[in-house]
Amino acid sequence: MDAFDLVVRNAHCATAADVFDADIGIKDGRIAALGKGLAPGREEIDAAGRWVLPGGIDGHCHLDQPMNDGSKMADDFITGTRSAACGGTTTVIPFACQIKGQSLRAAVDDYHRRAHGKASVDYAFHLIVSDPTPEVLENELPALIREGYSSFKIYMTYDDLKLADRQIIDVLAVARDEGAMVMIHAENTDCIAWLTERLIRAGKTAPRYHAASRPMLVEREATHRAIAYAEMVDVPILIVHVSGHEAIEQIQWAQNHGLRIYGETCPQYLFLTADDLGIDDSPSSHEHGAKCICSPPPRDKANQQVVWDALAAGVFQIFSSDHAPFRYAGPDGKLGAGADARFDQIPNGIPGLETRMPLLFSHGVLDGRIDICQFVALTSTNVAKTYGLYPRKGSIAIGADADLVIWDAGTTRTICNTDLHHAVDYTPYEGIEVKAWPALTLLRGTPVWRDGRFLGTAGEGRFQACALPAPARPKFSREAA
């Protein structure tokens, strides 16, 4: 065995199942050896007994995605991946979004152009299928799945993205035939439209009415429907950004009946509530509310505990940011429709790529709600398995990419947007305390963040073609390994 390029000494490692102390020998960007007293490397880093964990994989984030409503995403692949690296995330999976009328292939090609030469961490693409024409279903989608785009998202709401129910069934059938993973945004679009009309007619247009326009039953119904379609087609699906107990009960029901239904939740459902959408009609409520509008909306305090419990109990397999970066200020931001924009005119989405890992490490692991192995599973291993990046990504194991984070879990800091590296002019988590932050982020053995400084290079992040998914099994039944 040749000399290691780098040895991380005295690492207190965790995987999704194990905790062990070892030196980590890295060669050609991969983990070549684990052991005590490994031979010297060309470079050495002493982890000094600190937690060394697999780099985060953000399985749900939006970067430089074309918008059709006048808004514009503030983060492109340069700023988005920079902020990922600084928060301990070494792989992002944003969305190549098909615009209605466009071919899927064209969407993928366009998105590669947007990413090319800009990423400082590795990246793969989910597809968004918004126009499942026969050509898409029969040719493009199967071909793209085989080429490395093996997961795709579909929407049950949003006028420019949503699929009709029959289309949902048809794309699920393709996923079944090809072995792809389907992510579903589950909210009932007709309920939202009906409630929105009534709210606006009643003059209830402030951001806080966004929550009233999408009560939990809207999410529960769509979740039940998506589960029924998956059951009929006999294909696993992933319900993304699950917000609260009504949808959770549907997912539990399905899992308890042996269905392969997976769930994802996000920081906004653990750290925000509907009050963050505003508590009155004041300008400050409008500002705070506009910044925090996302869908599904955050719910109440009691509900946060339900989401924590479901996270701890294994109902959710994946914890993502759903980073959707719009600036508050400016004509292409949250208030593009005007200073007193109605709730339904404000772009949906909040930033979160950089804060995802520290928030969960602090309030999940260090506060004792989940253990360190669950943290690794939720933020990295399960994501890699679910989207076909495993075993190259997602663990500390022989042969895996040396995407590693050394955590500084000693000091307390307060989240402040001025410390973050995205291009958004606010963070919804402003002021929340965290007790951990990455001290060092390695991408394939190379530091991209160290001691508070971004060291990455645009273009060093590589595109990762995805194999077929092999989702984490804690909630998976009836299929061969």
| Nearer CB in complex with a copy of itself: 170/264 | 170
Count of chain residues binding a copy of itself (CB under 8 A): 82
Give the 3-state secondary structure of residue 133: coil
368 near a copy of itself (CB under 8 A)? yes
Structure tokens given for 321? 């940011």
Cα separation, 404 vs 357, whole angstroms: 13
Structure tokens given for 439? 């001290």
| Nearer CB in complex with a copy of itself: 39/329 | 39
Interactions with a copy of itself, residue window 19-38 (CB under 8 A): 19-22, 25, 32-38
Interactions with a copy of itself, residue window 322-341 (CB under 8 A): none
C-alpha closest to that of 316 among 271, 398, 405, 379: 379
Which of 285, 303, 395, 441 binds a copy of itself (CB under 8 A)? It is 395
Span from 68-76, 134-142, 225-233, 410-418 in contact with a copy of itself (CB under 8 A): 225-233
7 near a copy of itself (CB under 8 A)? no
Q: How far is the CB of 466 from a copy of itself (least distance, A)?
A: 17
377 near a copy of itself (CB under 8 A)? yes
371 near a copy of itself (CB under 8 A)? yes
How many Cα atoms sit within 13 Å of 380 on the Cβ side? 32
Q: How far is the CB of 413 from a copy of itself (least distance, A)?
A: 21
Cα separation, 339 vs 335, whole angstroms: 6
- The helix or strand, by DSSP H or E, that contains position 307, with its residue range, turns out to be helix 301-313
362 near a copy of itself (CB under 8 A)? no
400 near a copy of itself (CB under 8 A)? yes
| Nearer CB in complex with a copy of itself: 149/229 | 229
Cα separation, 191 vs 409, whole angstroms: 44
46 near a copy of itself (CB under 8 A)? no
Give the 3-state secondary structure of residue 265: strand
| Nearer CB in complex with a copy of itself: 115/186 | 186
39 near a copy of itself (CB under 8 A)? yes
Q: How far is the CB of 321 from a copy of itself (least distance, A)?
A: 22
The Cβ of residue 335 has, within 10 Å, a number of other Cβ atoms equal to 23
Q: For 135-168, b where at least 16 C-beta lie within 10 A, e where not — what string?
A: ebbeebbbebbeeebbbbbbbbbeeebbbeeebb
Cα separation, 273 vs 183, whole angstroms: 24
- Whose structure tokens read 């530091």? 447
391 near a copy of itself (CB under 8 A)? yes
Percentage helix, strand, coil for the chain under 3-state DSSP, each rounded to 5:
35, 20, 45
Q: How far is the CB of 317 from a copy of itself (least distance, A)?
A: 10
Cα separation, 251 vs 400, whole angstroms: 32
Interactions with a copy of itself, residue window 455-474 (CB under 8 A): 470, 473-474
Interactions with a copy of itself, residue window 190-219 (CB under 8 A): 190-191, 193-195, 215, 217-218
Which of 7, 8, 16, 84 binds a copy of itself (CB under 8 A)? It is 16
Span from 15-23, 99-107, 277-285, 328-336 in contact with a copy of itself (CB under 8 A): 15-23
- Whose structure tokens read 């996923």? 175
Q: How far is the CB of 468 from a copy of itself (least distance, A)?
A: 14
| Nearer CB in complex with a copy of itself: 140/170 | 170
| Nearer CB in complex with a copy of itself: 38/346 | 38
**What mask of x and - would describe binding to a copy of itself in positions 238 to 267, judged by CB under 8 A?**
-----------x--x--xxxx---------
Q: Which amino acid is at 420?
A: L
Structure tokens given for 158? 């949003």
**Cβ neighbours of residue 244 closer than 8 Å, sequence gap 6 or more:** 216, 219, 269, 296, 299, 303, 306, 307
Which of 60, 126, 214, 224 binds a copy of itself (CB under 8 A)? It is 224
Measured in residues, the chain has a length of: 481
Cα separation, 230 vs 261, whole angstroms: 8
| Nearer CB in complex with a copy of itself: 289/364 | 364
| Nearer CB in complex with a copy of itself: 36/112 | 36
| In contact, 305 and 331? CB cutoff 8 Å | no
Cα separation, 265 vs 255, whole angstroms: 16
Which of 64, 221, 276, 401 binds a copy of itself (CB under 8 A)? It is 221
Interactions with a copy of itself, residue window 115-154 (CB under 8 A): none
